[in-house]
Structure 1
Amino acid sequence: MDGTRYLDRIGRLVEPGERVLAHAQAEVGGGATPPPPSDGTTPAGPGRATVASVLLNLLVPLATWDRGDRLVDLIGWGIAGRGAPGSAASRLHRALNPARPDGKLRHTLLAVTDRRLLVCVTGAVKLLSNRDDDERSLAETRVAWAVSRAEVASARVGWHRLNPKRLRIDFTDGSWLAFTVPIAESGAPLRAVAAALPG
């Protein structure tokens, strides 16, 4: 989809007087990410359940267990983010990966304005879509998470394993989360987002 169409839709989602400086379509990088914000039901610390979930994850790959998935992601992809439960990176990752996903594919859009970092999510995307499907998906784009620019410590694009286009956004609370685009796509939009964030 043409990037200017994303820009037009993002322009309708910002507050009056807010200017969009840069935007990019990207996905959270593969790898271990910050744990979700605590809801009071998650047990703290490793234990036998962790070992069992890792073993079950390896023996039955189609089944998922949170701690086992995190270890497999860490070994296979490395680290895609860090932060305590409830940190900015943790909240952002949860906003993009809700506890009860509906299983539909959506694109993630990063947008930097003169006031905030916005993370938007498109409507459901079909694998073999037509123009009407693309328009519907674009029309359903919404802001999933936003934070003041003052809460972003830094942003940079660099290499991670074989991908030279990984955007790492560091927050002032010490947490961070990485975003990537496929290797075949241009890294220019990610670099524009990184350049627009600091300051």
Structure 2
Amino acid sequence: MDETRYLDRIGQLVEPGERVQAHAKAEVGGGLTPPPPPDEAVPETPGRATVSSVLLNLLAPLATWDRGDRLVDLIGWGIAGRGAPGSAASRLHRAVNPARPDGKLRHTLLAVTDRRLLVCVTGPVKVLSSREDDERSLAETRIAWAVPRAEVASARVGWHRLNPKRLRVDFADGSWLAFTVPIAESGRPLRAIAAALTG
């Protein structure tokens, strides 16, 4: 899908007089992320992650244990965000990764306006989509989460493991969350987001 079409749709979602300064299609980085907000937290079962649960997670990915999954994420991908339950990063992560996903693929769009940082989610997308599918997905794009720019402490793009294009957004409450694009895609949109947030 043409990336400029995202800009047109985001422009329709913002408040009157609000100007979009940068936008990018990106996904939350792989790895350990902040825990969900307290009202959505699922109590963990007692015990600790064992070597056997980690091995089982690697050998049979559909059989999961929360602590084992988190350890595998930490070892395989590193840390993609930090923050207390209910922090800005925790709420943002939950907004783009709901607790009960419907199993359909959606894209995450970041947008910086002169007032806010917006995180939008497209409608369901298909791997092999037609023009009509793309238009339907774009028409269903909505703002999933927004925060005033004053609550963003900093943003920067840098290396993380083998990916040179990881955007880290730090919030005023001390939490942070990372976003990435595939290695084959340009990092220019993420750098534009970082520049707009810090400029």
With the length of structure 1 as denominator, give the TM-score of the two structures. 0.94
Q: RMSD across aligned C-alpha pairs, in angstroms?
A: 1.7
Structure 1 letter corresponding to 2:147: V
Structure 2 letter corresponding to 1:26: A
Q: Equivalences for 1:32-181 in 2 at 5 Å? A: 32-39=32-39, 42-43=42-43, 47-48=46-47, 50-51=49-50, 54=54, 56-58=56-58, 60-181=60-181
Distance 1:123 1:14 in 2: 17
Distance 2:4 2:41 in 1: 43
Structure 2 letter corresponding to 1:81: G
Q: Which moved more, 1:34-43 or 1:12-21?
A: 34-43
Distance apart, 1:70 and its partner CA: 1.3
Partner of 1:6: 6
Q: Which moved more, 1:92-101 or 1:50-59?
A: 50-59
Q: Equivalences for 1:174-193 in 2 at 5 Å? A: 174-193=174-193
Distance apart, 1:2 and its partner CA: 1.2
Distance 2:16 2:118 in 1: 15
Distance apart, 1:42 and its partner CA: 3.4
Distance apart, 1:66 and its partner CA: 2.4
- 2:39 alignment partner, SS class: coil
Distance 1:144 1:8 in 2: 17
- 1:197 alignment partner, SS class: helix
Distance 1:93 1:129 in 2: 27
Distance apart, 1:127 and its partner CA: 0.5
Q: State whether residues 35 and 41 of structure 2, in contact with CA within 8 Å, keep that contact through their aligned partners in structure 1.
A: no
How many residue pairs match? The answer is 198
Distance 1:72 1:137 in 2: 33
Distance 1:99 1:28 in 2: 15
Distance 2:40 2:144 in 1: 23
Residue-by-residue CA offset, 1:92-122 (whole Å, 9 max, x unaligned)? 0000111110010000000000000000000
Q: Which moved more, 1:182-191 or 1:33-42?
A: 33-42
Residue-by-residue CA offset, 1:152-183 (whole Å, 9 max, x unaligned)? 00000000011100000000000000000011
C-alpha spacing 1:41/1:186, structure 2 compared with 1 (3 Å) = closer
Structure 2 letter corresponding to 1:48: G
Q: Which moved more, 1:49-58 or 1:106-115?
A: 49-58
Structure 1 letter corresponding to 2:135: E
- 1:39 alignment partner, SS class: helix
The runs of 5 or more residues in structure 1 that have no matched partner are: none
Q: Does residue 1:17 correspond to 2:17, yes or no?
A: yes
Distance apart, 1:63 and its partner CA: 1.8
With the length of structure 2 as denominator, give the TM-score of the two structures. 0.94
Structure 2 letter corresponding to 1:188: R
- Residue identity over aligned pairs, in percent, reads 85
